[in-house]
Amino acid sequence: MLQSSEVVDLVIALVLLPIIASSGRAPIRLHKRLLFASYLAVVCAYIFTIAEGFFWPVVFNILEHASYAGAGILAVAALLSYRRHSGSGLI
């Protein structure tokens, strides 16, 4: 069923999405793309969380957890990329 905390999470994530998306400067580096992708994965997880209360609960539940796992992997990739670039001074 629909939980208010899940909706609030999604609303906050969507409201702050443009701010996070526009915070970078050209040229957009790989670690920023990966970090933003990680953030989008979390947002997708929020959407799947809400969706599982209405449709195909098993599928959306798996998608929700897969999104979290993907977000974590993307976050690691983003941080590794940041580390590599910060060492070369290309941040």
Partner 1 sequence: MAGWVVVALDVIAFFAFSIALVLVLRERFENSNPYSGVIKLLFALAVLVYVFVAFSNILEHAGITAVLDEYEDYVEILFVPLIAYAVYTMHTARLYNDARRAAELLNAEHGLLTAIIDTSPTGIMLVTSAGTLAFANDMARETLRLQSGPGESLQMPDDLTCLSTQDSSVRPLSLEGLARGVTLFGSTCIVETGGKKVALSVSSSPLGTDAAPGAPQGSVVAFVDVTEREEARQGLLDAQARYSLDLERTVDERTVELLAVNRELGTVNRAKREFVANVSHELKTPLSAVRGFAELLLSGAPGPINAEQAKQLQIVADSSQELLALVERLLELERVESGHAVVTPSHVELDQVVEGVVDLIEPLARERGVKVVVESVGSVVAETDAGLLGQIVRNLVSNAVKFTPSNGSVTVKVLEVGEYRRISVADTGVGIATADQERIFEPFAQVADSAATRGGTGLGLAICRELAHALGGSVWLKSVPGEGSTFTLEIPARFSAG
- Give the footprint of partner 1 on this chain (CB under 8 A): 3, 5-6, 8-9, 12-13, 16, 19-20, 23, 25, 39, 42, 58, 61-62, 65-66, 68-69, 71-73, 75-76, 79-80, 82-83, 86, 91
Least Å distance, CB 17 to partner 1, is 9
Spell out the residues 6+ positions from residue 86 whose beta carbon is closer than 8 angstroms to its own: none
Distances (CA, A) of 38 to 4, 32, 51: 24, 10, 20
CB of 54 or CB of 62, closer to partner 1: 62
CB of 54 or CB of 76, closer to partner 1: 76
Least Å distance, CB 40 to partner 1, is 12
CA–CA separation, 62 and 51 (whole Å): 12
CB of 28 or CB of 69, closer to partner 1: 69
What is the full DSSP assignment across 47-83? HHHHHTTTS-HHHHHHHHHHHHHHHHHHHHHHHHHHH
